[in-house]
Structure 1
Amino acid sequence: MSVESLVTRITDQLVRLSQVTHADVATAVELVTDLLGSAGQRPLAAGPAWDSDVSDDHTPVEFSLAFDPAGPPVLRILGEAAVTDPASPADLTPALAFLRRQAARHAVSMSRLERVRDLFTTDRPQGTFGMWHSLILRTTPEFKVYLNPEIHGVARSVPLVQEGLGRLGAGAAYRAVCEQALRPGEIGRGDRLTFFALDLRDTDTARIKLYVSQHDAEPADLARAAAVVPGADPAEVVAFCESAAGFAGPYDRRPIISSYTFVAQAARPVGYSVYVPIRSYVADDRQAYDRVHTLLGRYGFDTDRLEAAVAAVTSRPLEDGVGLVAHVSLRIGPPSPGVSIYLSSEAYGVGVARRRIPAH
């Protein structure tokens, strides 16, 4: 009898997800196998090789489907390169080694990353991660990296992000976010600078993104966060969060996350997304599924693909756990407005369903 490993579990899920999204499964499996390295061969029964923060059960891979009006949803993989020293999960060495290997095989541009990499380099990295990878499975795979603004500590995250975005020509737009979108006195505190992200390609649509975790946010805080972006409707953002979470705030469990898309020399961010950690605001995955199903229908997307995607990842009853449907997000602005859903592999465990959600 064969022993199931992490990579065989992820591969089986990718094969089924590719049937929903039309992704190139061979490329997806190749990339994930390389990313996980020897940790991918580790038997699932042995538990995770390190406490990856990508998912609640420490599986270092999360799936997402980006729904947009142009066609079938795009399959994406958020993953963490195998950590060589569990005591130092923020070390960039394994993540950079993965990128260099992929640069020799695919269209990966390291130019913008190299302009800021020294800011995220230290002999004493802090935090639960240094770099994560997003693998976007279009006809030709695309690559994105998430860097940790708090790698030198929370207190240094604000000047680090300011310097990084300034080097990339987005200093003016970042100032607009700080002055007009985030809560006064809360930047780096209640509004934590969580991810500094870069598309690794040389095209006009390549993005620079900043993700902000907004702890204990009220609806007015979410409206303020969105209003700085031209074309974003603050009322729509507030309504989306209320529908996903099931109430009107304050959102005092896992924080709502706002992300801003920047391009060089623009005075304001050109895109905005809001992410609701729906697993923290439901009793079980049946409730999460129903809410996401409603949101997809509201925005005119094919809800049958949601059902197929969930079935591709798990066969368990949705009432038997919580955390499979981890996040749901609303994307506003270029390059592809729409709704995204985030699904946990649950390779190492299933979150315990709650009998009820605490009242507000």
Structure 2
Amino acid sequence: MTSAQLPDEISDLSARRDPDITFGGFLEEKWTEVCRGLGVDQWETETVLRDLREVIHPWGSRPVGTRCDPPSFVSADGFPAELSVSWKGGRPEVRILFESLGDDRTPLGCQEAGRELTRRLAGSPGTDISRYLGIEDLFLTSAPDRYRATLWHSLAWRPGKRPHYKVYLNPQVHGLDHAYDVMAQAMERLGLADAWEPVGRRGAELARRGHELELMALDLDAGDAPRVKVYYRHRPMPMDELDTVAELAHRYEPVRAARARGVIYGRDGGTVSNEPMTCLAFREDTSGPQEANVYLRLPDNTASDAEAAERIARLMELEGIDPRPHAEIVRRLTAGRPAGAGGLQELCSYRTISPEMPADIGVYLRFGTYGGPVL
């Protein structure tokens, strides 16, 4: 989920040296390095790579080249994918978020490629797309905007488990002014109208305060009650204002979240202008959102990836999570890059489940493949 800012010095040397490397080859290499950093067995890594190859087929065979056409809103430079690692209960999970690229290299082609992939996923073990099919029409358009979200997916994998999939949809597909109308209809169809109501009725207020409704994600797991995640982007605002959306959730702990912000931003107040995000999670039989996950941006408030890694390590230690696997991932992914380069670690996510448990912490990795922002 892109930010408008991207430091000029970011570059991924392996992609720039070899512009003929494919999207698939590039992403497999990065995924493998992340798994090695976590100490995952190579055989187990190769098993999940087969799933990765399948979900990015056929566009994974295209050369990365010097730009993505059309540019993807997943990344500031238009690259159509990001990797992330999340520690939940101290256990790591590796994920990839991506936008499928269409054959005709248009936003509409990407939307249609995303629809086609969702239907292919119906054949994956433990996957059910019926809830998605019940709301798909709300999020389609004949003329998607360039460099905005179309229809995205994610693959999440915890070693020893099968992959899980999510689909990401754009409530702004018919214009920002209609985003809450789209969400209300989607939540009604999913049986989550009561859960959404406390948030939906505050939509106008949240928009005035700079909290922009941006994305919706739906789990594609079979059998479980639907979990829906709704993402807000925060325009420039005082740091304390960032709590406004997250405090709508039942399990949010503002004191711990403030501590996390202080660690990641290196300060306890002032204006935050780099567009952090908040995700609210909704489930059946709950009045209002159940959980909140905050996403804090790193590149323009840290001088380098080394400094970003130090701040993430400090937060992990405060939560009782071993920071060494994250440090090893960063070491592997920054090997060969200029000393002092930054931008690999784009976001740090933070979610509290209960006062007695460590927070879930995630790190979102961007590769600056094309070396500069789209806009």
Distance 1:205 1:315, change over 3 A: farther
Is the CA contact 1:116–1:167 (under 8 Å) kept in the aligned structure 2? yes
What is the TM-score when the length of structure 1 is the normalising length? 0.86
Pick aligned residue for 2:53 from 33, 40, 54: 33
Amino acid at match of 1:263: R
Pick aligned residue for 1:61 from 81, 84, 89: 81
For 1:148 and 1:221, the matched residues in 2 are separated by 24
Distance 1:41 1:185, change over 3 A: same
Amino acid at match of 1:12: E
Is the CA contact 1:14–1:28 (under 8 Å) kept in the aligned structure 2? no
**What SS does structure 1 have at the residue aligned with 2:191?**
coil
Matched with 2:176 is: 154
Pick aligned residue for 1:130 from 133, 141, 150: 150
Matched with 1:218 is: 238
For 1:133 and 1:30, the matched residues in 2 are separated by 16
For 1:91 and 1:251, the matched residues in 2 are separated by 36
For 2:189 and 2:317, the matched residues in 1 are separated by 41
Distance 1:312 1:112, change over 3 A: farther
Pick aligned residue for 1:170 from 192, 210, 213: 192
Is the CA contact 1:194–1:212 (under 8 Å) kept in the aligned structure 2? yes
**What SS does structure 1 have at the residue aligned with 2:310?**
helix
Is it true that 1:50 corresponds to 2:70 in the alignment? yes
Tell me, which stretches of 5 or more residues in structure 2 are unaligned?
1-16
Distance 1:342 1:34, change over 3 A: same
Amino acid at match of 2:28: T
Is it true that 1:120 corresponds to 2:139 in the alignment? yes
Is it true that 1:4 corresponds to 2:21 in the alignment? yes
Pick aligned residue for 2:34 from 7, 17, 23: 17
Is it true that 1:243 corresponds to 2:263 in the alignment? yes
Distance 1:188 1:167, change over 3 A: farther
Amino acid at match of 1:274: V
More moved, 315-324 vs 270-279 = 315-324
Aligned positions of 1:80-95 closer than 5 A:
80-88=99-107, 91-95=110-114
Matched with 1:142 is: 164
Tell me, which stretches of 5 or more residues in structure 1 are unaligned?
352-360
For 2:300 and 2:33, the matched residues in 1 are separated by 27
For 1:276 and 1:70, the matched residues in 2 are separated by 20
For 2:318 and 2:79, the matched residues in 1 are separated by 32
Is the CA contact 1:226–1:237 (under 8 Å) kept in the aligned structure 2? no
For 2:353 and 2:223, the matched residues in 1 are separated by 17
Is the CA contact 2:74–2:98 (under 8 Å) kept in the aligned structure 1? yes
Matched with 1:355 is: none
State the shift of 1:329 in Å. 0.6
Is the CA contact 2:214–2:233 (under 8 Å) kept in the aligned structure 1? yes
More moved, 168-177 vs 110-119 = 168-177
* TM-superposition CA deviations, 1:59-101 (whole Å, max 9, x none): 2121111112253x11111111123344425852101211222
Matched with 2:253 is: 233
- Bigger RCO of structures 1 and 2 (CA < 8 A, at least 6 apart): 2
State the shift of 1:107 in Å. 2.4
Is the CA contact 1:90–1:130 (under 8 Å) kept in the aligned structure 2? no
Distance 1:337 1:292, change over 3 A: closer
Is it true that 1:185 corresponds to 2:205 in the alignment? yes
* TM-superposition CA deviations, 1:170-209 (whole Å, max 9, x none): 22232222457x7x63438721111111000134475211
Distance 1:39 1:80, change over 3 A: same
Is the CA contact 1:214–1:256 (under 8 Å) kept in the aligned structure 2? yes
State the shift of 1:237 in Å. 1.5
Is the CA contact 2:70–2:107 (under 8 Å) kept in the aligned structure 1? no
For 2:200 and 2:301, the matched residues in 1 are separated by 28
For 1:304 and 1:8, the matched residues in 2 are separated by 27
More moved, 146-155 vs 168-177 = 168-177
Distance 1:318 1:203, change over 3 A: farther
More moved, 86-95 vs 109-118 = 86-95
State the shift of 1:133 in Å. 0.9
Distance 1:43 1:202, change over 3 A: closer
Is the CA contact 2:107–2:150 (under 8 Å) kept in the aligned structure 1? no
Matched with 1:358 is: none
More moved, 100-109 vs 294-303 = 100-109
Matched with 1:356 is: none
For 1:325 and 1:90, the matched residues in 2 are separated by 30
**What SS does structure 1 have at the residue aligned with 2:308?**
helix
Matched with 2:11 is: none
Is the CA contact 2:108–2:143 (under 8 Å) kept in the aligned structure 1? no
Q: How high is the sequence identity, in percent, across the aligned residues?
A: 24
Is the CA contact 1:192–1:214 (under 8 Å) kept in the aligned structure 2? yes
State the shift of 1:270 in Å. 1.1
* TM-superposition CA deviations, 1:40-60 (whole Å, max 9, x none): 333344433431121223221
